[in-house]
Structure formats: C-alpha cells, structure tokens
Amino acid sequence: MSEAVDFKIVEEPKRPLAMHPKKFGLWLFMASVFILFMAFTSAYIVRRAEGNWQIFELPALFTYSTIVILLSSVTMQWTYFAVKRNQRANAKNMIVLTSVAGVIFLALQWMGWGSLIESSIHLVGNPSGSFLYIITGLHAAHIISAIVFLLVVLANALRNRFNLNQIEMCTTYWHFLGVLWLYLFVFLTLLR
C-alpha cells in the first residue's frame, strides 16, 4: 500500500520564454521611433517623386558629426564592458566621454544648420530643405533624450551605483540612435 502512495502523476507545464520587461519595452519604443523616421523618409520619397524639388549639397559638417556619433558608440560600448568587468573609474570616464561626444554631435548638427542657412536653404521654402531640418531636428531631439539618459546613469555612477541592466539599455538606445543617424545620413546623401 505504502508503495502505491509513492506513485505520483506529474504534469510539467513549461515556463514561457521571457525577457527583462524593461529591456523589451525599450525595443518596442525603438521600433516606434524607427517607424516615425520611416514615415518621414517615405514622405520624403513620395514628395520628391512629384518634382519641383530643390537639390543641394549636404553640409560637410554632417560628415564629421557622423564620425563623432560612430566613435561615441565605441565609448558607449566600452562603458558597458567596463561596468561588466567592474572597472568603475574607467566606466565613469567613458560615460562622461560619451556624453561629451553626444554634445559635440549636437553642436556639429547645429553648425551644419548654420552652413545650410548660409547657402540659403531655410526651414521655410522648398520642401526638400524643410524635410532636412525636420528630420535632423527630430533626430537631435532623440539624441538629447539619450544624453539625459546618460546623465541619469552618470548620476548613479557618481553615487557608486551601477545597474548593469540600466547601462545595457542605455547602450542599446545609444547604438540605435547612431545607426538611425547613419541610415538618415546615407538616405539624405543618396536621395537628394
């Protein structure tokens, strides 16, 4: 009898696959940002196809800003590795460096706008110019949000709090905006 009691029926329901919810949410957010820019670039294509479209050179400064933002991705990734290896001082430096690179990027974009205005491409005027300002401006707004995120990470780091998930999310977002800019840059260069 007592042996029979030891027989058990078991059912093993599987634990569903799951990611860190916040990281996952970030991916969804990036998807919607991506769609936003897809909307602008599609609108650009549709409008361009209709003719009456002013053609002009992208400012050379945008090439430099592209280099800066790509380099900042390196320092950002460096931050992540440093935190992972627990090299805290190193990590702090890299966060600062990345933020500074972000600010330089913004400054270069701003100066790029200046040189556009010098060659009399204004926000108001032919839609080809207006699109350029809107697209680059909106991208810059996202870079600002990423810098704010970096500053939050930095504030935590200065209090010696390193949250690897948070830093990973910040890194992902930063890379995303870098790649997004690369796409926009190539797009705007090829489809003038």
Partner 1 sequence: MAIHVESHSAVHAHDDHGHEHEHHHGNFWTTYIFSEDHKVIAKQFLITGMIWALIGGVLSVLFRLQLGFPEANLSWLKPVLGGWLTPEGKIDPEFYLALVTMHGTIMVFFVLTAGLSGTFSNFLIPLQVGARDMASGFMNMLSYWFFFLSSCVMFVSLFISTGPAAGGWVIYPPLSALPQAIPGSGLGMTLWLVSMALFIVSSLLGSINYITTVINLRTVGMSFTKLPLTIWAFFLTAIIGILSFPVLFAAALLLIFDRSFGTSFYLSDIYIGGEALPNQGGSPILFQHLFWFLGHPEVYIVLLPALGITSEIIATNSRKPIFGYKAMVGSMLFIAILSFVVWAHHMFVTGMNPFLGSIFTLLTLIIAVPSAVKIFNYVTTLWKGNIRFTPAMLFSIGLVSFFLTGGITGIFLGNSAVDIQLHDTYFVVAHFHLVMGSASFFGMMAGVYHWFPKMFGRMMDEKLGYLHFWLTFVGVYLVFFPMHYIGIAGFPRRYYTWTAFETFSGFADLNMLVSIAAIVTLSAQFIFLFNFIYNIFRGKLAPTNPWNSTTLEWTTPRLPGHGNWPGEIPTVYRWPYDYSKPGAKEDFIPQHIPYSETPESNLPHENDQIKLQFGDKPL
Contact residues: partner 1, CB under 8 A: 6-16, 18-22, 24-25, 28-29, 31-33, 35-36, 39-40, 43, 46-47, 50, 52-53, 123-127, 130-131, 134, 138, 152, 156, 161, 163, 166
Burial code (b: 16+ CB inside 10 Å, e: under 16) for 105-134 equals bbebbeebbeebeeeebeeeeebbbebbbe
To partner 1, the closest distance from the beta carbon of 62 in angstroms equals: 21
Give the CA distances from residue 67 to residues 88, 114, 134, 147, 182, in Å, rounded to whole numbers and listed in that order.
Answer: 27, 19, 21, 18, 9
To partner 1, the closest distance from the beta carbon of 118 in angstroms equals: 20
Closer CB to partner 1, 20 or 88, in the complex: 20
Cα of first residue to Cα of last residue in the chain, in angstroms, is 85
Closer CB to partner 1, 40 or 56, in the complex: 40
DSSP secondary structure letters along 86-117? T-HHHHHHHHHHHHHHHHHHHHHHHHHHHHHH
To partner 1, the closest distance from the beta carbon of 17 in angstroms equals: 8
To partner 1, the closest distance from the beta carbon of 31 in angstroms equals: 6
Closer CB to partner 1, 67 or 163, in the complex: 163
Closer CB to partner 1, 68 or 82, in the complex: 82
